[in-house]
Amino acid sequence: MGAPSLAAATTALTSAPTLGGCFARASASSKRFDLRQRLSKAALTQSQSVWDPLSARMAEDLGYRVLVLAGSTASAVLLGSPDLALATLSEVTSLVRRICRLSGSPLVVDCDHGLSRSALGVVRCVQEMEGAGAAGIMIEDTELPARFDLEGAKKTKVKGTAGGVALLPTEEAVRRLRAACEARSEGLLIFGRTSAHCLAGRGELLARLKAMKEACAGCSRGGLDGFVIIGPDLGEDDWAEINGLALDLPILVGGGLHKKEPYAAIYTGRRPDMAPKVAVDAGLRVLLTGSDAFWGGLRAARAKMAETAPAPGAGREERADIPLKDLRRSATNASEYEKQLREFAGVDLNEL
The whole-number average pLDDT for the span 159-166 is: 52
Q: Which of 119, 157, 160, 162 is nearest to 139 (CA)?
A: 119
- pLDDT, tens digit (0-9, with 9 covering 90-100), for 284-303: 999 998 899 999 999 999 98
Considering 78-87, 147-156, 314-323, the range whose residues carry the highest mean pLDDT is: 78-87
| pLDDT reported for residue 260 | 81
| pLDDT reported for residue 271 | 87
User: Residue 272 pLDDT > 90, yes or no?
Assistant: no
- Whether the CB-CB separation of 83 and 71 falls below 8 Å is answered with yes
Asked if residue 8 belongs to a domain, the reply is no
Asked if residue 24 belongs to a domain, the reply is no
Beta strands in 107-162 (DSSP E): 107-110, 136-140, 156-157
| pLDDT reported for residue 317 | 57
Mean pLDDT score across all residues of the chain: 85
Asked if residue 92 belongs to a domain, the reply is yes
Residues 6+ apart with CB under 8 A from 259: 232, 233
Helix axes 292-306, 324-331, angle to 10 degrees: 90
User: Residue 313 pLDDT > 90, yes or no?
Assistant: no
| pLDDT reported for residue 76 | 96
Residues 6+ apart with CB under 8 A from 306: 316, 317, 319, 320
- pLDDT, tens digit (0-9, with 9 covering 90-100), for 122-140: 999 999 999 999 999 999 9
Q: Tell me, what CATH number does 269's domain have?
A: 3.20.20.60
273 φ, ψ (degrees, to nearest 5): -65, -15
| pLDDT reported for residue 352 | 39
Dihedral over alpha carbons 167, 171, 176, 180 (to 10 degrees): 130
User: Residue 157 pLDDT > 90, yes or no?
Assistant: no
The whole-number average pLDDT for the span 308-336 is: 79
The whole-number average pLDDT for the span 191-199 is: 93
Q: Are strands 189-194 and 226-229 parallel, antiparallel or unpaired?
A: parallel
Instruction: Compute the distance between CA of residue 217 and CA of residue 174 in angstroms, rounded to an integer.
Output: 11
| pLDDT reported for residue 350 | 55
- Whether the CB-CB separation of 197 and 231 falls below 8 Å is answered with yes
Asked if residue 135 belongs to a domain, the reply is yes
Q: What domain count does the chain have? A: 1
Asked if residue 21 belongs to a domain, the reply is no
- Whether the CB-CB separation of 284 and 243 falls below 8 Å is answered with no
CA angle 289, 292, 294 (to 5 degrees): 115
- Whether the CB-CB separation of 169 and 207 falls below 8 Å is answered with no
The whole-number average pLDDT for the span 168-188 is: 95
- pLDDT, tens digit (0-9, with 9 covering 90-100), for 102-115: 999 999 999 998 99
Least confident piece of the model among 94-108, 127-141, 307-321: 307-321
Least confident piece of the model among 167-176, 232-241, 252-261: 252-261
Asked if residue 18 belongs to a domain, the reply is no
Residues 6+ apart with CB under 8 A from 304: none
- Band (pLDDT 50/70/90 cuts) for residue 89 is very high
Asked if residue 323 belongs to a domain, the reply is yes
pTM for the structure as a whole: 0.88
Asked if residue 9 belongs to a domain, the reply is no
Domain containing residue 210: 31-351
User: Residue 150 pLDDT > 50, yes or no?
Assistant: no
The whole-number average pLDDT for the span 77-94 is: 95
- pLDDT, tens digit (0-9, with 9 covering 90-100), for 1-20: 444 444 444 443 334 454 44
